[in-house]
Amino acid sequence: MSETRFRRTFAAVTAVAGVGAAAFVAAGVVPLGPSLHIRTVENPMAGGRTFHEVFVEVRGGETVDRVTVEGASEGVVVLDPRTFAPVPPERGLRFRVFTEPGTKPPHVLRVVQEARIDCTYEIKLTEERR
């Protein structure tokens, strides 16, 4: 490839990248900040209790100041530790939760993220069966 052709190609690629970056800024698109990826695994136990392992992973490339898990409905019990702080990006956390026998679904768990952008997630562990 000749030097002149290389320069033209480089200039064209740079121009396209510049237009893309300008469109990105003009659209007002900014990083959303940290978020949590949450998944649960249900394990039925003897005596009517249901044990849940709750896995939380920090996403978004920022450290979260604090992650707290708490029961948001009757019969949801969170075992210690309930809070982790600070939590670096991509770190996985595990919380242990169980539902008391005799309590009526839905059983809801609240996961609270304290960071540059605070967020609260409500997760249904069990739903009412019809």
Q: Which residues contact 125 (CB under 8 A, 6 or more apart)?
A: 40, 42, 50, 52, 76, 97, 99, 106, 107, 108, 109
Q: Which amino acid is at 53?
A: E
- Same domain? 91 vs 118: yes
Q: Which residues contact 115 (CB under 8 A, 6 or more apart)?
A: 33, 34, 62, 63, 64, 65, 66
> Measuring CA to CA, which residue among 50, 68, 73, 64 is closest to residue 124?
73
Query: Which is higher by pLDDT, 116 or 14?
Result: 116
Domain with 108 in it: 35-126
Q: Which residues contact 21 (CB under 8 A, 6 or more apart)?
A: none
Please give the model's pTM, rounded to 2 decimal places.
0.72
- Same domain? 110 vs 77: yes
- Same domain? 96 vs 115: yes
- Same domain? 20 vs 43: no
Query: Which is higher by pLDDT, 107 or 20?
Result: 107
pLDDT in tens, 80-93: 999 999 999 999 99
- Same domain? 26 vs 51: no
